[in-house]
Amino acid sequence: MDEPNMSNVELLSERINRIKPSPSMAAKALVDKLRADGRDIIDFTIGEPDLPTPQHIVDAAVVALRAGDTRYTASSGTPALRKAIATKLARDNGLTYTAENIVVGSGGKHVIFHAFAVTLNPGDEVIIHAPYWVSYPDMVVVNDGTPVIVAGDEASGFKLSPEELEAAITPRTKWLILNTPNNPTGAVYTEDELIALGKVLERHPHVWVMSDEIYEHFVYGGAQHISPVLAIPAIKERSLLINGASKGYSMTGWRLGYGAGPTVLVNAISKLISQTTTCPSSISQAAAIAAFLGSQDAPRNAGRVFEQRGKLMADLLKDARGVSVRPPTGAFYVYPSVAGLIGKTTPAGHILKSDLDVVNYFTESAGVATLDGSAYGVGPYLRFSFATAELAIRDGCSRIVEACLALK
Ligand SMILES: Cc1ncc(COP(=O)(O)O)c(C=O)c1O
């Protein structure tokens, strides 16, 4: 088509120019392109389960479709789904909410975005511990907030300490984001660690807590998922618990997530949804009722499958010279240090200066796609997803071992 004769500066808002595209979505696009060009690529960038949506959930969607359940719903979600979510939160997380405390969106990401949009004024600060899910800072920035990044490190298991939290809080702090199990490190906070953070939060009643628990079903090696909202009762009236169907029930494409919190907040989110997307898909909502109230075998089994794959990936990567990996405790990612590769020279004569150079080297020379830790706020690390078939894990890791051996 004919393109308008106008520069991006004239057309696009200052708001959109503040942010960048999601690096993980950009990596997915690159993998798709390389594959379309005929390259044999093993994809460890994937942020979604490779398992199918369980049959009883698909069946519930088909029943809804056949029954003509194909119209707009309430913008906060159907009463039946909001009730089902309240039941799930009591059953799995020991938390009491009513349907009025719940807002359903088109994915957890959608709810997080809307929560920032309805609460942030220019200059309001959001504390984000690094490494973090790539979308948090951009969602804050596009909604006029200021991300306050607290740099985490491996020595502390990539977990926020009470001292770091205390030092990051100012009178402008609006939110603290807690993400357990964590993307990208797989860190899972223990109850004691949460209680210690809670003591700090009790001293600062103006700080709201966004508790992102989207990976709750994936905890390994005896680790347990405990909702921060349960561990720190004092924050319940100033927190938004985020979760959804995407990861636990292999439903990423259905776009169904929710927030649970005080009505003043969920009503504001719902008001904004009524003016943006109107409501989540009616069919996905019907399916999600089956997910949350039906058999919980699928998330349990997925947890067991991912635990084996995570162990396998960590074991295989131990043989990669210059890569230092810990077994994951949650989510479906390992986050190894590649400090040992920085400064090495590739067979083509390039010096690896950053973790992004390492990502490019592995993609180009080994046909293995990963993500750079710098995009998640802490380098030089790589994020490897093990939400992929065992065969691909074996093949991909042996290619990485070879590629590391080829460095001088
Ligand atoms: C930490 C974290 N939170 C939230 C989400 C959002 O998931 P969805 O929008 O599919 O519910 C993701 C997805 O990758 C994530 O990694």
pLDDT average per 10 residues of sequence, the chain (408 residues): 67 92 78 90 92 97 98 98 98 98 98 98 98 96 98 96 98 98 97 98 98 98 96 97 98 98 98 98 98 97 96 97 95 97 96 94 94 94 96 98 97
The reported pLDDT for the residue numbered 47 is 86
Among the listed residues 351, 385, 347, the one whose alpha carbon sits nearest the alpha carbon of residue 369: 385
CATH number of the domain residue 385 falls in: 3.90.1150.10
Query: Same domain, yes or no, for 251 and 153?
Result: yes
User: Is the CB of 113 inside a 6 Å radius of any atom of ligand 1?
Assistant: no
Number of domains composing the chain: 2
Q: 342 lies in a domain?
A: yes
Query: Same domain, yes or no, for 288 and 309?
Result: no
Using the 3D structure, point to which of 294, 321, 337 is the last residue of a domain: 294
User: Is the CB of 243 inside a 6 Å radius of any atom of ligand 1?
Assistant: no
CA of 357 to the centre of ligand 1 (A): 26
Give the domain range for residue 280: 71-294
Query: Same domain, yes or no, for 170 and 313?
Result: no
CA of 214 to the centre of ligand 1 (A): 6
Query: Same domain, yes or no, for 263 and 363?
Result: no
Using the 3D structure, point to which of 274, 294, 314 is the last residue of a domain: 294
Query: Same domain, yes or no, for 279 and 306?
Result: no
Query: Same domain, yes or no, for 107 and 249?
Result: yes
User: Is the CB of 108 inside a 6 Å radius of any atom of ligand 1?
Assistant: yes
Query: Same domain, yes or no, for 149 and 271?
Result: yes
User: In angstroms, what is the C-alpha Rg of the chain?
Assistant: 21
Query: Same domain, yes or no, for 104 and 248?
Result: yes
Pocket of ligand 1, candidates 179, 247, 284: which has the most ligand atoms within 8 Å of its Cβ, to mutate? Answer: 247
Using the 3D structure, point to which of 276, 294, 312 is the last residue of a domain: 294
Query: Same domain, yes or no, for 94 and 35?
Result: no
Query: Same domain, yes or no, for 234 and 329?
Result: no
CA of 109 to the centre of ligand 1 (A): 6
CATH number of the domain residue 219 falls in: 3.40.640.10
The reported pLDDT for the residue numbered 162 is 98
Q: How far apart are CA 194 and CA 240, in angstroms?
A: 16
The reported pLDDT for the residue numbered 144 is 97
Query: Same domain, yes or no, for 358 and 376?
Result: yes
The reported pLDDT for the residue numbered 244 is 98
| Angle (nearest 5°) at CA 297 between 293 and 301 | 140
Query: Same domain, yes or no, for 119 and 234?
Result: yes
Q: 51 lies in a domain?
A: no
